[in-house]
């Protein structure tokens, strides 16, 4: 089978449009005029037989078919870029813009303290950090990476484990002075206020679990305060509003 290099070139242009959010900005990023970008996208659409973008006077967005196509080819573009870096054997080969989607608490406590060293290590790379409670559509929103805790939903996107942490059950000294210190998980159901955080996927409170040896024990808890983000949960816990389950990274 003869490989058509124009196909790869067109996919590269589409990737630039997705990342930049417009034909004009994509052209600036890859050194093409806006009409040239538009023609490259049109040729690729004709070649693969689908409409990749919805085009309006004010904005562009991926069609459903375009999103599926891009999600299928994006990992291969990353692989090609990785191969180029490996062949070059230099961190200087890593350049461009990296758009990162994180939740606010992780960004504050974990990512921000380390970002300076990361930028020093890759001097030709620029980073945009966007704080969002929900990941949303990473492809349509032009993100390269999203960092979240928990099991990822099934997707054609690549997922990689970065770190592991424990969940701790925490309370402030002021709260414990007023309500006493629970000795067993079951005590939490006896007059204690448990602070709840909503799962952004299901919109229900995250379940509370405890580890007993190798056994995971779920526990139904009640509380009058529910929040959407870890930062609010941490702040409420520190203020003495109740008992919370927090990642060890933040506790």
Q: What is residue 81's predicted lDDT score, i.e. its pLDDT? A: 65
Residue 84 lies in a domain: no
Q: 108 vs 84, which has greater pLDDT?
A: 108
**Together in a domain, 160 and 183:** no
Is residue 180 included in any domain, yes or no?
yes
Q: Alpha-carbon distance 161 to 102, whole Å?
A: 15
Give the Cα-Cα-Cα angle 32, 54, 133 (nearest 5 degrees). Answer: 95
Tell which wins on pLDDT, 4 or 234: 234
DSSP SS3 for 156: coil
DSSP 139: T
| Residue 103 to residue 100: CA distance in whole angstroms | 10
CA atoms of 135 and 141, how far apart (whole Å): 10
Give the model confidence (pLDDT) of 24-48 as tens digits.
888 888 888 888 888 889 988 988 8
Here the tokens at position 31 are 């050194």
- Among 7-21, 87-101, 137-151, 206-220, the range with the most confident prediction by mean pLDDT is 206-220
Which residues, in sequence order, are CB contacts of 156 under 8 Å at separation 6+? 68, 71, 72, 75
4 with 39, same domain?
A: yes
Is pLDDT of 147 > 50? yes
CB 242 within 8 A of CB 223: yes
Q: Would you state the structure tokens that stand for residue 1, as one six-digit string?
A: 């089978």
Is 77 part of any domain?
no
pLDDT > 70: what percent of the chain? Answer: 90
Runs of H (alpha helix) within the chain: 5-20, 23-30, 34-48, 64-88, 104-106, 112-121, 173-179, 230-238
Same domain, 158 and 185: no
Quick: pLDDT tens for 192-223: 999 999 887 778 898 899 988 888 889 999 89
In a domain, 81, yes or no: no
Q: What pLDDT is recorded for position 169?
A: 95
pTM of the model: 0.58
At residue 239, the pLDDT reads: 96
Looking at the domain assignment, is residue 74 inside a domain? no
> In angstroms, rounded to a whole number, what is the distance separating the alpha carbons of residues 93 and 59?
32
Write down which residue in 135, 164, 193 finishes a domain. 164
Can you tell me the distance from the alpha carbon of 36 to that of 221, in angstroms, rounded to the nearest whole number? Answer: 59
Q: Which range is most confident: 82-86, 97-101, 160-164?
A: 97-101
Please give the mean pLDDT across all residues of the chain: 84
Distance of CA 11 to the CA centre of its chain: 23
Q: Would you state the pLDDT for residue 86?
A: 60
For residue 144, the enclosing domain spans: 90-164
Is 76 a domain residue? no
Question: What's the pLDDT score for residue 1?
Answer: 43
Q: How far apart are CA 218 and CA 206, in angstroms?
A: 11
CATH number of the domain at 116, please.
3.40.190.10
Domain with residue 11: its CATH number is 1.10.10.10
Tens-place pLDDT, residues 64-81: 898 888 888 877 776 666
């Amino acid at each position: 089978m003869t490989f058509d290099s124009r196909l790869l070139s067109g996919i590269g242009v589409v990737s630039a449009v997705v990342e930049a959010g417009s034909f004009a900005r994509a052209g600036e990023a890859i050194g093409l005029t806006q009409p040239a970008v538009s023609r490259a996208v049109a040729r690729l659409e004709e070649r693969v037989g689908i409409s990749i973008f919805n085009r309006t006077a004010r904005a562009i967005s991926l069609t459903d078919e375009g999103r599926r196509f891009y999600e299928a080819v994006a990992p291969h573009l990353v692989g090609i870029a990785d191969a180029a870096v490996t062949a070059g054997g230099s961190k200087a080969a890593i350049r461009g813009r990296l758009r990162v989607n994180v939740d606010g608490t992780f960004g504050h406590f974990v990512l921000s303290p380390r970002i300076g060293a990361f930028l020093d290590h890759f001097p030709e790379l620029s980073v945009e950090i966007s704080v969002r409670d929900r990941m949303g559509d990473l492809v349509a929103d032009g993100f390269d990476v999203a960092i979240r805790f928990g099991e990822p939903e099934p997707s054609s996107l690549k997922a990689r484990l970065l770190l592991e942490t424990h969940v701790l059950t925490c309370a402030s000294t002021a709260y414990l002075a007023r309500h006493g210190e629970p000795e067993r998980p079951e005590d939490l159901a006896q007059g204690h206020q448990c602070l709840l955080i909503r799962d952004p996927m299901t919109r229900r409170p995250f379940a509370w679990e405890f580890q007993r040896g190798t056994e995971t024990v779920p526990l139904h808890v009640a509380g009058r305060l529910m929040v959407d983000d870890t930062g609010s949960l941490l702040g409420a816990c520190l203020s003495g509003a109740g008992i919370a389950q927090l990642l060890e990274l933040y506790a």
